[in-house]
Amino acid sequence: MTALSVSTSSAASLRADALVIGVAKGPKGIVLAPGAEAVSEAFEGKLAEVLTTLGATGAEGEAVKVPSPAGLKAALVLAVGLGEAADGGYGLETLRRAAGVAARTLAGSKKAALALPVESADEVEAVALGGLLGAYSFGTYKGNGSAKEPVGELVLLTARKGSKDAKAAVERALVVGEEMNRARDLVNTAPNDLNPKIFAAIAQAAGKEHGLKVEVLDEKALLKGGFGGLLGVGNGSANPPRLVKVAYTHPKAKASLAFVGKGITYDSGGISLKPAGHNETMKCDMAGAAAVFAAVVSAKRLGLAVNVTAWLALAENMPSGTATRPGDVLKMYGGKTVEVLNTDAEGRLVLADAIVRAGEENPDVIVDVATLTGAMMLALGSRTFGVMANNDELRETLHTVAGEAGEQSWPMPLPAELRKGMTESTIADLANMGERMGGGLVAGLFLKEFVAEGIDWAHLDIAGPAFHEAAPFGYTPKGGTASAVRTLVRFAERTAAGDKA
């Protein structure tokens, strides 16, 4: 992974392959952002003019390279766009994306210095995290030399190097960045290399490394325990399901959180087979499990004073002679029965088992994370996840927390009238399908049926932003994005601080 360091050296004196500065759109052309003063001086005050000649506008996402003049130790100057000029400083997400653009653009370089506008500790963290995320590359299956290596080192230039809050900001960025990139690796791994058993082994290895308690229920334990949802979904696969518990406890914790993740390591749709064009990226259907796994490891590494348990509901949804059929009835963990009308609505079945199991430990809050419905993508697009909850305050808190963390979300309702379609099964307590319209909300209502009385619960449907198929932007690559990790970590931090508003 790309190394990260902090320096108080001047931009002019630091030796590096590239020196990154920020430029913005002003009323009369591009404006140099704070941090570029030494570079401008080396260009004898003509840097903005040179950049304009090369086509720079200061637009967000823009990156323009200029050979360095005498007076700079870096070989190259890279100007990244910050959007509209701002007198009061630039937003944290703007800084994250700018640093990400710089890191992506400089792939193949050994060392790059970031002279972006940073004054506060939050700005230090934003640039550090954006740079680490932008430098991400997944090359597991690439031949030698077929792709550029990520930038080797990012040096963050700031006058705050020695301050306690700046040091903590950089350390947090390192932890969150490393764990998000771990989640991205998991999502990007080919499904023949990541089945439920392998995923569980990865969790066990991480538990051993970081001092987390990990418990794995294999197919025999699941059968003995009556986990009908996980077993029903996994029945068609040669790779049996797993339920993995990854627990972090803190001696001073006053609250406990349960994060439940959908972990369908490949989703063919089962007997309700997905058509061609809809199954090629279904290795990403375990992104929810990857997110909660990364979040609990982050909580441990950050030493948060809150108990956090991740529940990874892992299965592979395949068609075969042993697969669950439309019309079958499953007895779920906890006793409810579910008529399966569509085997491609499998995520809610594995989550239901895990939610009931998580509720037995009486956490203060359960948050489940899942690439659950195409309906949510239709509603909110490919960059925004939906937030549902059985508690309005919790829903709004998670929406707020997501914004603080730099993730796009939107609060969604759970209309009582949509429950009716699921409860009209003539042979079971529930059906796993309801009304077609509002399908994302119907899925949320289904999950709500399995939440124990008195426990606050929220559901994050990350079907849109979990896997990015378009061109990279900001710090977001093609493929796995680690959607919801930052939201969960920030929520855990606020809970540890006693802040529930």
How far is it, in rounded angstroms, from Cα 446 to Cα 449?
Answer: 5
- Sign of CA pseudo-dihedral 339, 343, 344, 349: positive
Residue 96 contacts residue 406 (beta carbons within 8 Å): yes
Q: Which of 97, 348, 486, 490 is catalytic?
A: 348
Per-residue CA distances from 337 to 232, 352, 360, 449, 460 (Å): 12, 11, 19, 11, 24
Per-residue CA distances from 315 to 191, 241, 322, 448, 489 (Å): 11, 4, 14, 21, 25
DSSP letter at 239?
Answer: S
How far is it, in rounded angstroms, from Cα 438 to Cα 431?
Answer: 16
Backbone angles phi, psi at 157, to 5 degrees: -90, 120
Q: How many CB atoms lie within 10 A of CB 424?
A: 11
| 62-83 CB burial, b ≥16 within 10 A, e <16 | bbbebebeeebebebbbbbbbb
How far is it, in rounded angstroms, from Cα 322 to Cα 306?
Answer: 42
Q: 348 catalytic, yes or no?
A: yes
- Sign of CA pseudo-dihedral 115, 120, 123, 127: positive
Q: Which of 274, 336, 478, 500 is catalytic?
A: 274
Per-residue CA distances from 52 to 37, 224, 372 (Å): 17, 69, 46
Cα angle vertex 11, ends 120, 133, to 5°?
Answer: 55
The label of the residue with tokens 């932003």 reads 465
* Helix 92-105 with 121-134: angle, nearest 10 deg: 30
Residue 287 contacts residue 371 (beta carbons within 8 Å): yes
Cα angle vertex 104, ends 103, 109, to 5°?
Answer: 65
Q: 96 catalytic, yes or no?
A: no
Q: Which residues contact 185 (CB under 8 A, 6 or more apart)?
A: 138, 140, 480
Active site residues: 274, 348
